[in-house]
Amino acid sequence: MHSTLTEHARCLYGDEYRPTPECDQEHREHYFVEELTFADAEDILSMLRELSPHVVDGQPPVWVQNLAYRLIVLQRPSEPTLICEAALNLWFHGPGWDGIAADLERRADALGAG
């Protein structure tokens, strides 16, 4: 079993910046998605920042990155910096999510002003 969410993602999707570790486990995406779904925000952020440090890069599919940011925002709904980061991810991978990205930015602005 992988010891971290990041390790599991790196093993499953690869890594632009490091070699993919050798692993003798069978990889099924749904096991990773289950682990991601119940991971805490710090573990998810660690994975995103390690595997996609520039938001527009990274090997995990866009839908995995979107899900990861959604889970972070749900866990930390009052952190404008994280909400803006989630919006930025959507802007880069739109235009289908531009409306959601704009809503997130308005939410972050409202939180920052409060």
Report pLDDT for 113: 66
Report pLDDT for 107: 96
Report pLDDT for 8: 92
Report pLDDT for 1: 65
Separation between Cα atoms, residue 15 and residue 11, nearest integer Å = 8
Cis peptide before 19 (omega within 30 of 0): no
Separation between Cα atoms, residue 109 and residue 60, nearest integer Å = 29
What is the number of structural domains in the chain?
1
- Buried-state track 39-50, b at ≥16 Cβ within 10 A, e below 16: bebebbbebbeb
55 dihedral zone (left: phi>0; alpha: psi -120 to 50; beta): left
Report pLDDT for 19: 79
Separation between Cα atoms, residue 72 and residue 1, nearest integer Å = 24
Query: Whole domain around residue 103: which residue ranges?
Result: 5-113
**pLDDT digit of tens for each residue in the chain (114 aa)?**
688 999 999 999 988 888 777 788 778 899 999 999 999 999 999 999 999 887 777 889 999 999 999 999 999 999 999 999 999 999 988 789 999 999 999 999 999 865
Instruction: For tokens 């939410």, name the residue.
Output: 107
Report pLDDT for 88: 93
